[in-house]
Chains A and B, each alone.
Chain A
Amino acid sequence: MKTASSGVRGVSRARHEMVDHVSELTLRIRAPSFPELLSEATRAFGELVPPTMRGRRLRERQDFEVGGIDRASLLVQWLNEMVYLCEVEQWLPAVVEEVRERGETLWLRASGVSLTRPFVLVKAATLHGARVSEDSEGLTAEVTLDI
């Protein structure tokens, strides 16, 4: 289990931890807001990519749009977008710069780093136990990654 923090811009109170189970990893995130939660999820996913595979400089900025019926599925779909980008485009989103949530659609702008080869460790982000809940201190999310 390890924890770290990040934010859409500047320092954030967002935190995450990875808990490994028999055949998967569960990502748990705490963040003050949904954009910061997505940013933290992005950072957490990036930690799974070996540093030797990652380029040092942020490459170009890209815009993304994912759909889902609630925040849990939006988070899962964003992580699945990252799975695809890392495997096919060899590009790892590293910094989420802007997030817009419109009903069942999520729009993100991210900059990232190129990868030296496709990253295929994570097969998918699953809906198994996926949740995003809110309390007075912010948001808590949990997503299971199939590896």
Chain B
Amino acid sequence: MMQTTEIPPAHLAQRAGDTLYEIPSEARADMRVPARIYADPWLWEQISGDRSLEQLLNVATLPGVTGAVYAMPDVHEGYGFPVGGVAAFRITDGVISPGGVGYDINCGVRLLATGLSAQDLGRRLEPLVHELSRSIPSGTGRGGKLVLTDRELDRVFTEGCPYLVERGLATPEDPPHTESGGCLPGADPGKVSRRARDRGRSQLGSMGAGNHFVEVERVAEIFESEAATALGLEPDQVAVLIHTGSRGLGHQVCTDYVAEMDRAMADNGITLPDRQLACAPFDSDAGRDYFGAMCAAANFAWCNRQVITHRVREVCARVLAPDVAVRLVYDVAHNVAKVEEHGGIRVCVHRKGATRAFGPSHPETPQAYRGVGQPVFIPGSMGTGSHVLVGRDEALERSFGSACHGAGRRMSRGEARRTRPGAQVRRELQERGVVVRCPSMKELAEEAPYAYKDVDRVVDVVHRAGLARKVARMAPLGVVKG
């Protein structure tokens, strides 16, 4: 293990702006670039309390890292990379790290806007939430309704969401409103192990457990009406927010390649401060293999959220009205590595618990949102509300075009369970008019609002830092927990 400084990383930081702290690259002998952390003083105190800063500095030691490593205001301790970390590595001499993407490859969020207001919904809220919970498998152990053959899985891996248009599970308008069109082009099905296939085969269209959810929302506040109009959002509108990822398939891809790269670290001459940072040169057999498998898993995740979208549309047609509009606003990944060009250099940007936030003029911002910015969705805890933002062009310089991904946990699951029983959490949410469906009271207690940081504060920092602009705030009406 490499020697690291004994001075706590927070003591090495300098305040570099209203919402920015910086730890210079000279702070540790093994750092190659500085670390920049977006936070206000209150969030800085929280961030300094765990090992996320130390983990961020560890990332700054990896070969080929360029510019700076960044922590978003919702950053917290992870495995190897902190959750809420962003780092870019040169394609020519840099690395790719499965731990820099995380186990839930392309965990992400998509927002659906309905043609109904909360008033229109009225008493149909409870049946709507109930039917969503019956139609979308969730919780520990429940798979989806689709079981795919190897050939069908290969098409999901290589074609992503456009394949589901052919299957009648997506509309032609859905893929253009999904990050990367719902398909990363580098997928290589041959690099996805049999085990990963087995874990994912029956999970397409399922939520999984933990902090995953499907929420019925009401647009509670509009901050920027022009951008809201461009996104098709208006006050009191009912929307649906979906948060899930690549399920067991993605977990197994990460497991497979962390193990493989761990075995090859010595051969590659790379020394690490944390074994979970296991990595390989991007331009190597192991690097290319992982990238091909990760892209396949990312495409699986987009298809997973797409199949759930299809189920939401079926439920809305059944419970609300056969012709009710349920339009995909956008879908963003927050655990992925992508090849992008920054400052004229091709890099592999790792966003682990961070959302891409490209601005109005970026060529990859979807056509519908040019001039506005790529939509960014920041879910809060269940019961507190979520945010819609749009990326800013300035974010390219400030964070490789990235923003935060959520409120970030501040309490362990056990501590949350001990704080209040699930039944009480449910009662408190019901008193606030939030309809809840959850597989178990234990899981409900683990995901209670107080277990998370204040999402409003996190989003405010992102806005003030010039990474993304606040467009709207949504309040939960109903929650289906994973």
Contact = CB atoms under 8 A, between A and B. Distances in A.
Interface string A1-27: 000000000000000000011111000
Interface residues of A, number: 34
A147 B413 contact: yes
Interface residues of B, number: 41
A147 B262 contact: no
B409 A23 contact: yes
B195 A124 contact: no
B364 interface: no
Contact of A23 (B76, B99, B140): B76
Given A20-B412, A118-B141, A73 B210 contact: no
Interface stretch (A34-42, A55-63, A92-100, A126-134): A126-134
Contacts of B215: none
B269 interface: no
B140 A121 contact: yes
Contacts of A147: 210, 413
B209 A127 contact: no
A87 B80 contact: no
A126 B257 CA distance: 12
Contacts of B411: 22
B478 interface: no
B255 A120 contact: no
Interface string B252-268: 10110011001100000
A69 B267 CA distance: 12
A91 interface: no
B83 A84 contact: no
Contacts of A68: 259, 262-263
A58 B198 CA distance: 24
Contact of B77 (A21, A69, A120, A127): A21
A126 B276 contact: yes
Nearest to A146: B103
A21 B276 contact: no
A127 B275 contact: yes
B79 interface: yes
A87 B197 CA distance: 12
A118 B203 CA distance: 11
A83 to B, nearest CB: 8
Nearest to A86: B141
A117 B275 contact: no
A46 to B, nearest CB: 15
A76 B258 CA distance: 11
A144 interface: yes
B181 interface: no
Contacts of B103: 123-124, 146
A84 B276 contact: no
Interface in A75-119: 76-77, 80, 83-84, 87-88, 117-119
Nearest to B259: A77
A87 B412 contact: no
A142 B90 CA distance: 34
B259 A118 contact: no
Contacts of B143: 118
B140 A120 contact: yes
B274 A69 contact: no
A23 B262 contact: no
Nearest to B250: A123
B79 A20 contact: no
B221 to A, nearest CB: 29
Interface in B122-158: 140-143
B189 interface: no
B251 A124 contact: yes
B76 A22 contact: yes
B78 interface: yes
A123 B258 contact: no
Interface in B404-440: 409-415
A21 B252 contact: no
B263 A69 contact: yes
Contacts of B340: none
Interface string B275-304: 110100000000000000000000000000
Given A22-B410, A80-B255, A120-B209, A126 B79 contact: yes
With most chain A CB atoms within 10 A of its CB, the pick from B50, B247, B258, B410 is B258
Contacts of B276: 126-129
A129 B54 CA distance: 13
A146 B411 CA distance: 15
Given A22-B411, A88-B198, A144-B79, A130 B275 contact: yes
A105 B411 CA distance: 38
A22 B353 CA distance: 14
A64 to B, nearest CB: 13
13 contacts: A20-B413, A22-B50, A23-B83, A23-B409, A24-B79, A68-B262, A73-B263, A119-B140, A120-B208, A126-B276, A127-B262, A146-B79, A147-B413
The 6 closest A-B pairs by CB, nearest first: A128-B79, A128-B276, A20-B414, A127-B275, A117-B141, A123-B251
Given A124-B254, A129-B274, 7 more contacts: A20-B415, A68-B262, A84-B198, A84-B199, A88-B248, A118-B143, A119-B141
